[in-house]
Structure 1
Amino acid sequence: MASVANPAAWCSVRKAALPQVSPESEGVVLSVLGTRALLLYRLDGAEHRRRQAAGAGRLDSIPALECLLGLPVGCRVPVGSLPEQAQVRCLPRGAVEWDADLVTRRAVRPLAVDLAVVRAAERRTGLERAGRFAPFCRRAVLLDEVPRAGLDETVVEAAFYGIGVLVHGPDGIRVALEPEAYRPQRHTAAAWEFVEEVYGRLC
């Protein structure tokens, strides 16, 4: 179940550590990928409104998303030229637009997840959980306190995986290591499915 992130905690995380995240980002706490995380995301208002107006169905299937990725956005394509005609015809309502034997893809990702922050009391648990988001967005771990052995080992290990490190100390939340930028090699149905899951929980 989605919940709006605690305003004070959200402001602290944002102010202390993440100036590179868009000022338009909103925060929500979700249980996703087997862990609870603060997700910072930007809703695509135009796509959201389009889906509402079209009464669009949910896009929650990998085959459907793979089919859509094979279609150009906004271009009319003769359906007879497509190798997966049956899949195109079975796409959820609102994903494509039909005009006789021409099909036009309308669906795009409804939001972008800028960062996932996983809170943890222990380094390894936090890094493992934050690592689950590697295929989908930038990620960071928020430690409840500075490890007894110090931060060096945590920072070195986190840097290897590109995971940011935030520490909740007596003076508030501070950054020990900024998260690595998210640079996907290609757009995948799995990454789009993750976005759709988040969108489905929010809207």
Structure 2
Amino acid sequence: MTYPVRAVGTMSGTVFTLPDRDTSSTKVRIFGTSATIVHRTHHAEHGRRCGEGLGHLDSMELLDVLMGLPSGEAVPLSAVGPSSLRVLRRAPSGVVNFTPRSVTRLVVPVVTPLLAVVYSSHWRDGLVRASEFAAYCPRMFVARELPENADEVLVEASWYGVGVAVGPRSAPTVVLDPEPLSEWRPSVAWWRFCERVYRHTLDR
């Protein structure tokens, strides 16, 4: 089996062309591994959070409750369970807005992950590390060169849906495109992943 190769534009060590000002890349340390996350940024939400003094959210309990509320729509307090209301009342300023009869979710994820890129000199290590991001966004790993059993390795990577690029970090060549997420829906874990990437953008 032969795979076509194609050169791609790169920026900040990624193998992803950044099409506009809303798309950027951030180096993160997450799941015990280092990766570059290419993401789209919701600048209005970032500005709003900065104005509120609100950073990233890390509470799974809070995010779980927030996912049950529509964004920007007032929900009658009578429609929210007592335990969820207690969680929301403890939330930092800028997360929700309460009135005597309703609560409105203000927050949305600041970043939307588009691609996770890991770099490894060992193919098995790269495949395993890239697979850590399977539930959150397409993923790819970059190696210096193809091994002698390239077809076998690329078949395995394709089976896992992991893209592969080879060459220097500054200008790698894609030999296998990452598989897009199929039938994907946002989850609490996904939102927390977005928040953790956002935290790394704040640390830059």
Q: If the length of structure 2 is used for normalisation, what is the TM-score?
A: 0.85
**Cα contact 1:57–1:92 (8 A) shared by 2:** no
Aligned to 2:132: 132
Aligned to 1:89: 89
Post-superposition shift, 1:12?
7.0
Supply the RMSD in Å over aligned alpha carbons.
2.2
Post-superposition shift, 1:95?
0.8
1:200–1:184 Cα change, 3 Å: farther
Post-superposition shift, 1:185?
2.8
Deviations 1:87-113 (A, max 9, x none): 222222211111223110010011111
Percent identity between matched residues is 35
The gaps in structure 2 that reach 5 residues or longer are 1-8
Aligned-partner SS, 2:178: coil
Aligned to 1:45: 43
**Cα contact 1:58–1:92 (8 A) shared by 2:** no
How many residues in Structure 1 have an aligned counterpart in Structure 2?
A: 190
1:22–1:188 Cα change, 3 Å: farther
Q: 2:62 aligns with which of 64, 69, 79?
A: 64
Opposite residue 116 of structure 1, the aligned amino acid is A
Paired with 1:159 and 1:135, the residues of 2 have a C-alpha distance of 16
Report 1 or 2 for greater relative contact order, CA contacts < 8 Å, sequence distance ≥ 6: 2
The gaps in structure 1 that reach 5 residues or longer are 1-7
Aligned to 1:166: 165
